[in-house]
Amino acid sequence: MDLNRRQFVSLATLASVIAATDLASMAVVAAESKEDKVVRIAKTYIGNTNYFVSVEETYCQKLCNDVYRQAGYDFKRYGSAAAAADAMRSRIQGTSKKGCLMYWGSWNSNIYGHAAIFLGNGQVLTSYTYNQNKKVAIVSHDEILKKLPKSAWRGYLHIGDAIRFK
């Protein structure tokens, strides 16, 4: 294929723009904190119906596991959120941090407890929602804490405490 000078310059300019765009987008991704990456990925799950089984059961740990794996992290998945919180009791924190896991027991008959992701700004991504719309949703952090009996609250697990980069 023979190119004249004008076509060559046009193609070279286009290639330069594409290369610069890719470098700029890579710089933005590289500057993203690990917590921001988890939050960004977690928000892509809003509205997903694959993590709801029934009013008493959701795949909360699978949701958390899927989000963290997509963000490049790995942590052991337990049989229930309550078992996970108990197993990591020494690493559980009393304060929230963006991108961390939240654990609590259930206020209904579910003995497995629940896990969710704290997104920051008072928001929590969860597969268990109060209005039972059967979708992953963002709910109010304060609303969760108000509705829970004090004995049900387990705490937060920060990235780096038990969630390790692969």
Q: Which helix (H) or strand (E) holds 137?
A: strand 137-140
pLDDT, tens digit, 9 for 90 and up, residues 6-24: 654 455 555 565 565 555 5
| Rounded Cα–Cα distance for residues 70 and 5 (Å) | 45
Q: Which helix (H) or strand (E) holds 123?
A: strand 123-126
> pLDDT-based confidence at 143, cuts 50/70/90?
confident
**Averaged over 100-119, what is the pLDDT?**
78
pLDDT of 57 over the 70 cut: no
Task: Write the CATH number of the domain with boundaries 34-165.
Answer: 3.90.1720.10
pLDDT of 96 over the 70 cut: yes
| Rounded Cα–Cα distance for residues 164 and 88 (Å) | 14
pLDDT computed for residue 125 by the predictor: 94
